[in-house]
Structure formats: structure tokens, C-alpha cells
Chains A and B, each alone.
Chain A
Amino acid sequence: DVKVTQSSRYLVKRTGEKVFLECVQDMDHENMFWYRQDPGLGLRLIYFSYDVKMKEKGDIPEGYSVSREKKERFSLILESASTNQTSMYLCASSLNRPNPEYYEQYFGPGTRLTVT
């Protein structure tokens, strides 16, 4: 079974702090994704990566950066946390092969971040 893990289930940080959220997958997937989920807005893509050291902006990248130094690990960084970044953060991974059916995404358990 594919396993995607996230470093924390719950996190409370203060405004202005630098925050690191980590995601690890154990299935040798090329693609990794960070989403945030807010009530009434569904899941929105922040950043994704299709290879080590490669990244692309999603729909809402402002206020975030990412790092992918190893294939299995994808980190989301909040450079200076703000209260409007209080949200549920979800990491996902998928293969990246020519056949589209390999694009099935698998999600981690999520991190509920509260910024006070």
C-alpha cells in the first residue's frame, strides 16, 4: 500500500514564525503536491513537484515556498506565518508515467495548522 505521512497532525504557531510542514511518501512517486483545504473552498493546489529540485506553482502559491531535496520528501514552508494561513494542509503523491492511469493521487492524513 502507498503510504504518505505528514510530520504533524496538529500545529499551533504564532504570527510571523517560520513554519515547516513535511511530507514523506514511500512508493517512489515522482509527483508530490501540497494543498490547503478551507470550508466552502474545497482543496486548492499550492505547489507541486514532478522531480527532485523541480517545483511549479499551483493556484495559490503566495506566502508559501517548497523544497524537494530528496525524491521521497516534499516540504512546505511558510516564511512568515499569518492568521489567514490557518487551514488544513494536505500532501499527496502520484506516479508520473506516460499512461494517465498512473496519475492516481494518494493523500497523507493532513496537518491542521492554527496561526495565532
Chain B
Amino acid sequence: GIQVEQSPPDLILQEGANSTLRCNFSDSVNNLQWFHQNPWGQLINLFYIPSGTKQNGRLSATTVATERYSLLYISSSQTTDSGVYFCAVGEASGTYKYIFGTGTRLKVLA
């Protein structure tokens, strides 16, 4: 099955810094989502982005499906950005199941 790798596994930033999180996947996909899991465990949808670029405030994401990777950019980070960021992909065969990466744990220091 498809493999999803996220990097880096852990990241510590000072408030106000920028960061880039990466998601590599091993095969063609037709779905890709980025989630933020807050300290209480809730998974929050950030982007649905199987291809192209999207922006939402300080966050933006780019997926280059032909090269099998996606990037999540966080600018001017805040302490509330702390948590775990997950990438999840759905295979191009058409299933609506997702395969999750193991996440990037981000800590933003005040």
C-alpha cells in the first residue's frame, strides 16, 4: 500500500518564526488533507489539497502531485500553533479511505 512520510518528526520554534512541514507519498493520490491536532486531541481540518496551492491566513499549502509531495507553510508562528500536524492521503484507485503519516510535532515557544 501507499506509504506516507512526514518530516521533520519534531520541530521547536520561537514565536514569530516561519516553518515548512513536508509530506512525501509513495504513489499517486486523488485526495490529500492536512490536519492540526490540538493538545486536547481534536483533529482540525487545515486544507483539502490534492494538487495546487491554497492559503488561509498565516497558513498555506502546496501539493505537487506529479512529484508526490506536499508542503505546509506556517508563517509568524504563534503558541497556539503548537500540536501535531498530520498529512493524510487517499489512493488514486478511488477509495475514500485515507492513509495517515505519523505527524510532525510542533512546539512554539513564547
Contact = CB atoms under 8 A, between A and B. Distances in A.
Contacts of B50: 100-101
B33 A105 contact: yes
A12 interface: no
Interface of B: 30-31, 33, 35, 40-45, 48, 50, 86, 88, 90, 94, 96-98, 100-103
Contact of B103 (A42, A48, A100, A109): A42
A105 B88 contact: yes
Please tell me the size bucket of the interface on A: 20 to 34
A107 interface: yes
Contacts of B86: 42-43
Contact of B90 (A42, A50, A103, A106): A103
B37 to A, nearest CB: 9
Contacts of A45: 97-98
A42 B102 contact: yes
13 contacts: A31-B96, A40-B102, A41-B102, A42-B103, A43-B100, A45-B97, A48-B97, A58-B97, A90-B43, A100-B94, A101-B31, A104-B48, A107-B42
Given A40-B102, A41-B102, A109 B96 contact: no
Nearest to B35: A107
Contacts of A7: none
A31 B96 CA distance: 8
Contacts of B30: 100
A50 to B, nearest CB: 7
Contacts of A44: 100
